[in-house]
Structure 1
Amino acid sequence: MDANHWGKHAPTLSEPDSLEALTSQNEATNSQRVFLSQQRPVMHLDIDGESTALPLKCCGLQRSFFKACCGSTLILVVAILVGFSISIVSFKLTGWSSWHEQDEQRFRHHHHHFVDLALGHSVERYLKELTKAPHVAGSLEDMATADYVKGLFESYGLRTGLKDYEVLLSYPVERSITLLFPNGSEVSLLLTEEPPNAKAIPPFHAYAPSGNVTEEVVYANYGRQEDYSKLDTMNVSVSGKIVIVRYGAVFRGDVVSIAANAGASAVILYSDPEDFAGGGKGGFFPDAEWLPPTGVQRGTVYQGSGDPTTPGWPSSPNGERLSDVDVAAVLPQIPSLPISANDALFIMSSLEGEVAPPDWHGALEIPQYRVGTGPVKVNLDYKGMKKLTRIRNVYGIIEGSEEPDRYVLLGNHRDAWTFGAVDPNSGTAALLEIARRFGILTQHGWQPRRTLVLCSWDAEEYGLIGSTEWVEENIDLLAVKAVAYLNVDCAVVGPGFYAAATPQLDMLLKEVAKEIDDPDSQEKSVLDTWTASAKGKPMVTRLGGGGSDFTAFLQHVGVPSVDMYFGQDYPVYHSLYDNLQWLEKFGDPSFKRLIAASTIWGLVGLRIADSLIIPFDYRNYADELEVYTKAVEKILPENGLDESVSVEPIWSAIQNFRAAVVQVEKEVEVLHKAKAGSANFYELRLSVRILNDRLLQTERAFLDRKGLSGAEWHKHLVYGPSKSDKYGVSFFPGINGAISAALTSGNWGLVQHEVWKVARAIERATVVIVGQLV
């Protein structure tokens, strides 16, 4: 009789909560047995040389009944043994291939069921709850979202847990920007969004230092390195000046860092209507999708990952932390504030000096964009506070049936600068929808082959803090056991599917996308529209920057990773207008895109968790390595290549890696087609396990233990962040960094050293995927 037959009335065994309780329970049980045996006669049976006492009454009828019971028991035992023998013979006859086919059919059935379980009203319900109040990290409202997610995980049958950290967060205290005119008049900017929300955190930059600066202003376009080079050619100096920059091209933290390196004393960033309001001609939210003139983009300007006080180790309450001086050294060095287009109009219209280059002009209603300076000066006054604050990660686990020690992780963050309907709670709603469907599958008998872990991170907006602290705490386990990390930050911002991943996951993403109807065109699959929108360019982009919570998994541990979403950019990003009304009206009116996003995300997770052999395609990785090597060959002569530098070591390593991949593909084919008698069942299962371990460990081989030069926390030698843009991706980051340095220092030997490092990493990957000592 199975457990399902018993239902809620199934007999249960109480579990002792301590060793002492277990001992007491055993002693009580033994005493009870002794007492019962003393009250009635017993018959002793010898089973395998051991005597077993059975209670026995003395009347003839009872003795006959007892004999009959013994006879029935023996018959039952014989029947079980015969049945077991028959099943062994049956397996030998049907063989591995038959078992494997039945196993795959069973999982496919559950996967189809997962797709069919989609419900639009469930994600809408999640979003309404998650976005009913602003919930910046460290706030009571943010903790309420953690409780909400945990409660739903539990209600869906997931084993659920919490993990808190004490981390350094930053909040605004006072902010002001005042224009000081030569005639003595002053104009103070509003620095607010309309209509204001008392519960929302005011527009500010997290971790910006406090400061009071009064200076002339220079306009520096997007604040990139090339923009300052252009100012140099125009003989415009930013030394000591306040720089005003428009959002859009690079990460705001890099904007502030580049300005500080150029000698600026403070930075003001604004959202130009050209970039965030469609040129300002098509209306504004709530009538149109565009950012209103009072809209402001909040965000962090910290360039690192994780808690600034504990770089490389978790933020335990009583653990080691950097000194205040050391923390200050890794945080931004000059104050900065974000402002709206309305407020920027006052500053930009007051600038004189040379007219800005044509491509620097935006859509503010001013006659000309000028670079400055004067005659107006600006006073920027900012006071902030930094304090250790508790944050909370939530996780839900569905344990694997056959490989419970192998983890497939799906993650999204909850914290938001304001309401966060798109960023991040469209992703949170998708995660909860996946949890709901997984819960139903478990009720219908499904259990994944490998363990699935659903992760809800906190404090991502401050610098990927929740996920990074968790990865740093679990790094040794993850390095051995994590199969893949699948990230969704903003699940939906508009039409069109997009994905970034490490190359071995490309084919899996495309296979899953082929099975899902496009939410905006039911006659086509997601793959159809995805392929068409790529227009011949690579469909899957790469992960290397620090844009979301995949960073610690890939860059620090070497876990194969994915980031996926519908739509690309949305104009109300990090503003007060990222609310449920905007998402319902413009981002995803019917929630069909959000349902499709959760289906693709969950199905990719199911394929990795349930496939007998992990579906990684390393042939595609070899192709990508060749593309990057050709690019380096092209870059070197364009940058004054020293003839002593050669990329031949990389070419040789790729050739060996490709040969190893072909060998592995043959192994996979053999295991899938293995017949009865070709090998013992358990030997085949062991072979699968060994192969899977090689597949999941291969990505780790691309790491360098010492890390990238100048960015040691980042250890991946194939993909890394751009040095001028945290959101940007750089292939062979060590090589590219060395080339940039060589242009100044002339040290081309360092470039060759980085070439050798990459070659050695590829050779290590070859050894791992082959799985044999050399």
Structure 2
Amino acid sequence: MVARVLQGVGVGALMVAALSLLLALNLNLGSFTPSPASAEISCSSSRRSPLTTVEEDALGRVKPSGDDYFGTAGEELINEMKADNMEKNLRYLTSQGHMAGTKQDLEQAEYLKKLWLEQGLDQVFLQPYTVQLSHPDLSKPNKDPLDGVDYDDSIPPAFLAFSPAGTIVTNELVYVNYGLYEDFEAVEAAGIKVKGRLVIAKFGQGFRGDKVQNAERFNASGIIIYTDPSDYHPDLEQGGAAYPNSFWLPESGIQRGSIVWHDGDPTTPLYPALVTTPPAAVTPPFNTATLPPSSNTETTPSSTVATPPATVATPLATVATPPATVATPPATVTPPSTTDGMYRVPDEQTDTPRIPAHTLSYNDARKLLVNIGGEEVPPAWRGGLNITYRMGPQLVRPGWTVKLEVHNIKHLVPTYNVIGVIHGSEEPDRYVIYGNHRDSWTFGSCDPSSATAVQMEMVRAYGQLLRNGWRPRRSMVFGSWGAGEYGFFGPWEWVEEYLKVFEMRAVAHLNVDLAIIGTYNMLISATPLLHKIIKEATKRTPAPDPSLGYTTLWEHWSQRLRAASPDLLDYNLASLSEHSPFYQHIGVPTSYMVWEINFEEYNWSDYPLYHTTYEDFDAILPMDPDDETVMLRKMVADLKAEYGDTLQEKGISLAHLDTVVNRFDEVAKTFITHVNNLTDVPLLLARQLNDQLLLLEKCYTNEAGSYLRPHVKNLMFGTSNFNQYEGWLAPGVRDALWEATHCQESCDHHWQVVQHQLSLLQYVINSAVLTMKDIRYI
């Protein structure tokens, strides 16, 4: 699998670099000296604005056509970036595990800081935050062995982060398919009560934390989640090869991951987990067994599952296998006391799971599933094991029991963002942010190290441009986030700390989490203001494989099958990666991109080895408000299609929403016409027009936050309340509609909430209307 990633890791890297460049470009490239590779570019082109071709009117004034988005800086950047360097970066990053809160993670943070300074960035610093993390109890570890590979003490035993402590011994086990809300409803409809019972669900089709939350919603006592071969090794029963001979998951592979559904440090909601006295750069590891008692530390068990029968000598399943050597404890300073100045919400008040949860391989899950009795599951619920899948709840053998025993440790530890900055020459207070989380549950060859390898090469290439005399118009910020896997802790705390700065000054946020799963085609989600510029970047980027008949990345992306995302671009940002705080909390235009496999050839929910050990207009921003109108009309159309009849029955009209969207359409067209007719743009006017564009999507945020989720401030772009991997337009309205349509009695209040949320949605769209109006005629 690593070889496949190494082979393809450069694919699309130039696209990300091009996109970041277009957002940060400078007018003054005359002083830039191209390398010999780009020396054939004409002198006239090297002196003109990188965002325009030259067209003069009758008065000799330059009118941009928008055809040339690169100039010599773009050509130089493309020539400078090397796939071989990305491969070297990836080999370094995957040389050991680097889970957040460990000494290996800190070592990589220090390495990046030193490297980026050497490569010429203007400013590089470590930004620490003291956050609550969850780790396995190393005195009671599990082992997820790799066949033929020695145990690596930088890899944690298999666990689900933030699963609380608990032991469940029961003779009842309920199969709930993928653990989706509708799956639990189907189980209840079949006459099987979940309340008080242990359930087992498959990974896939949604975020693992939502499965746990659904189990809580239906009052289950605990949940086991396993990787069924139907998603992770579909040709298992036909003798198909697994890793390392293919990318399919071996029978012993266990997925790790966080199960929190409220992103950011759970002990400091809506404010940053600041470190007033930063810890030393490198600190010795502490041993959890000797950690002094602290009100900030909760000792709980590490995740294990064993199922000995009550009276039978042969166990039903045994997962806990102590490794030959004890894994290296998380390397941190002693958890800080309240002298760090930040109030910590008591653990019982945090928005974290309340029932024990554990992860299993399909080899171990088989031993449980074959002993579940009851009716057979529906055909669509069957998995890929050669067994009869049954609903439960009773086990088939009298006297046999399942024992779920969870052992985790919660503690406050520092996590580190590495922040690198290139200062802009003319607008240093406007920031284009490119982010990628650095930590991984294991080696992280795909997630996130494929993207970190790309980020490292981008920084090196930009450093070379700086040495050649180039400088962007706007500042560029590179963020290597800490504790991303736990719930995007690094970027959330950073956004919360710099909230007022980025509310006004952030131009865009470009996020790449795992750059490459396959090399078939790209999947890109973005808020509308970035749609135009993304298309332009792909048109300027060479095709990854010219032998396929494509010249540019645009041709590859737009003409090749996109089974994963039929739309060229969508708005489905959701909460699947580190971009969530930027668009959900402060409304910054945001993009997420990944290279995928051919989904018509392979049918999977996650890539199989996921989280296992096996893994200008002169100076005017090229953003198009018309793309915003397309999104607004889609949002209204979707609401009408799904809820129109129901709303009409309740006397609630969407006509007012239509009206305000029409107003936006009018002012957007007026703005675009105004910009296109300009022949001379003074710097002050350029700043005004750019600010109108920058503030546009930030208008969608509201201080009160989305209904049911006050930490999500964006009322336009959000996340499904039942699957954090799925994006929702108008999340507050949709939350309110779901509650109202599922209400059984005394529902008037719920429909009043729907009306309130519609009013708030109209309000934020109207704010966007006012922002796009000519300032002289508001």
Q: Which of 539, 549, 560 is equivalent to 2:589? A: 560
CA displacement at 1:660 relative to structure 2: 0.8
Give structure 2 stretches of 5+ with no counterpart.
1-30, 33-55, 276-339, 598-605
TM-score by length of 2: 0.78
Q: Which of 303, 311, 319 is equivalent to 2:341? A: 319
Q: Is the Cα contact below 8 Å between 2:383 and 2:389 reproduced in 1?
A: no
CA displacement at 1:279 relative to structure 2: 3.6
CA displacement at 1:640 relative to structure 2: 6.5
Q: Report the Cα distance in structure 2 between the residues aligned to 1:472 and 1:714, rounded to whole angstroms.
A: 12
Q: Which residue is equivalent to 1:219?
A: 175
Is 1:751 the equivalent of 2:751?
no
Q: Which has the higher strand share?
A: 1
CA displacement at 1:367 relative to structure 2: 3.7
Q: Which residue is equivalent to 2:119?
A: 156
Q: Is the Cα contact below 8 Å between 1:483 and 1:559 reproduced in 2?
A: yes
Q: Which of 513, 529, 535 is equivalent to 1:489? A: 513
- Match for 1:728: what amino acid? E
| Residue deviations 1:718-752 (CA, integer Å, cap 9, x gap) | 11111111221111111111111112024323222
CA displacement at 1:100 relative to structure 2: 7.4
| Residue deviations 1:93-124 (CA, integer Å, cap 9, x gap) | 99997677699979511111111222121001
Q: Which of 91, 100, 105 is equivalent to 1:137? A: 100
Q: Which residue is equivalent to 1:506?
A: 531
Question: Pairwise mapping of residues 92-241 of structure 1 onto structure 2 (< 5 A)?
Answer: 108-158=71-121, 159-173=123-137, 194=147, 195=149, 196-215=151-170, 216-241=172-197
Give structure 1 stretches of 5+ with no counterpart.
6-92, 178-188, 579-606, 675-682
Q: Report the Cα distance in structure 2 between the residues aligned to 1:621 and 1:565, rounded to whole angstroms.
A: 23
CA displacement at 1:563 relative to structure 2: 0.6
Q: Which residue is equivalent to 1:395?
A: 419
Alpha-carbon distance change, 485 to 623 in structure 1, aligned in 2, over 3 angstroms: same
Alpha-carbon distance change, 250 to 106 in structure 1, aligned in 2, over 3 angstroms: closer
| Residue deviations 1:25-61 (CA, integer Å, cap 9, x gap) | xxxxxxxxxxxxxxxxxxxxxxxxxxxxxxxxxxxxx
Q: Which residue is equivalent to 1:445?
A: 469
- Match for 1:205: what amino acid? L
Q: Which of 525, 528, 531 is equivalent to 2:555? A: 528
Alpha-carbon distance change, 193 to 101 in structure 1, aligned in 2, over 3 angstroms: same
Q: Which residue is equivalent to 1:242?
A: 198
SS of 1:517's equivalent in the other structure is coil
| Residue deviations 1:616-636 (CA, integer Å, cap 9, x gap) | 111011011111101111222
SS of 1:221's equivalent in the other structure is coil
Q: Is the Cα contact below 8 Å between 1:642 and 1:748 reproduced in 2?
A: no
Question: Pairwise mapping of residues 568-583 of structure 1 onto structure 2 (< 5 A)?
Answer: 569-578=606-615
Q: Which residue is equivalent to 2:702?
A: 704
Question: Pairwise mapping of residues 268-417 of structure 1 onto structure 2 (< 5 A)?
Answer: 268-280=224-236, 281=238, 282-317=240-275, 318-327=340-349, 329-375=350-396, 376-417=400-441
Q: Is the Cα contact below 8 Å between 1:193 and 1:296 reproduced in 2?
A: no
Q: Report the Cα distance in structure 1 between the residues aligned to 2:510 and 2:160, rounded to whole angstroms.
A: 28
Q: Report the Cα distance in structure 2 between the residues aligned to 1:371 and 1:641, rounded to whole angstroms.
A: 42
Q: Report the Cα distance in structure 1 between the residues aligned to 2:138 and 2:355, rounded to whole angstroms.
A: 16
Q: Which one has a bigger Cα radius of gyration? A: 1
- Match for 2:379: what amino acid? P
| Residue deviations 1:185-222 (CA, integer Å, cap 9, x gap) | xxxx9765544433210110111101011122111000
Q: Which stretch of structure 1 is more off in the superposition, 512-521 or 444-453?
A: 512-521
Alpha-carbon distance change, 149 to 95 in structure 1, aligned in 2, over 3 angstroms: farther
Q: Which residue is equivalent to 1:79?
A: none
| Residue deviations 1:560-614 (CA, integer Å, cap 9, x gap) | 0001111164210000001xxxxxxxxxxxxxxxxxxxxxxxxxxxx8xx96111
- Match for 1:748: what amino acid? W
Q: Is the Cα contact below 8 Å between 2:143 and 2:157 reproduced in 1?
A: no
Question: Pairwise mapping of residues 729-748 of structure 1 onto structure 2 (< 5 A)?
Answer: 729-743=727-741, 744=743, 745-746=747-748, 747-748=750-751
Q: Which of 546, 551, 569 is equivalent to 2:580? A: 551
Q: Which stretch of structure 1 is more off in the superposition, 189-198 or 640-649?
A: 189-198
Q: Which residue is equivalent to 1:460?
A: 484
Q: Which residue is equivalent to 1:649?
A: 656
Q: Report the Cα distance in structure 1 between the residues aligned to 2:85 and 2:59, rounded to whole angstroms.
A: 41
Q: Which has the higher helix share?
A: 1
CA displacement at 1:517 relative to structure 2: 2.8
Q: Report the Cα distance in structure 2 between the residues aligned to 1:649 and 1:102, rounded to whole angstroms.
A: 38
Q: Report the Cα distance in structure 2 between the residues aligned to 1:685 and 1:322, rounded to whole angstroms.
A: 46
SS of 2:457's equivalent in the other structure is helix
Alpha-carbon distance change, 662 to 443 in structure 1, aligned in 2, over 3 angstroms: same
Q: Is the Cα contact below 8 Å between 1:250 and 1:726 reproduced in 2?
A: yes
Alpha-carbon distance change, 302 to 160 in structure 1, aligned in 2, over 3 angstroms: same
Q: Report the Cα distance in structure 2 between the residues aligned to 1:646 and 1:220, rounded to whole angstroms.
A: 38
SS of 1:645's equivalent in the other structure is coil
Q: Which residue is equivalent to 2:325?
A: none
Say what the alpha-carbon RMSD is for the aligned residues.
2.5
Q: Report the Cα distance in structure 1 between the residues aligned to 2:677 and 2:217, rounded to whole angstroms.
A: 58
CA displacement at 1:644 relative to structure 2: 1.4
Q: Is the Cα contact below 8 Å between 1:176 and 1:381 reproduced in 2?
A: no
Q: Report the Cα distance in structure 2 between the residues aligned to 1:95 and 1:147, rounded to whole angstroms.
A: 57
CA displacement at 1:526 relative to structure 2: 2.3
Q: Which residue is equivalent to 2:18?
A: none
Q: Is the Cα contact below 8 Å between 1:259 and 1:267 reproduced in 2?
A: yes
Q: Is the Cα contact below 8 Å between 2:188 and 2:194 reproduced in 1?
A: no
| Residue deviations 1:282-312 (CA, integer Å, cap 9, x gap) | 3100011101111011000111111111001
Q: Is the Cα contact below 8 Å between 2:260 and 2:487 reproduced in 1?
A: yes
Is 1:668 the equivalent of 2:669?
no
* Higher RCO (CA 8 Å, separation ≥ 6 residues): 2
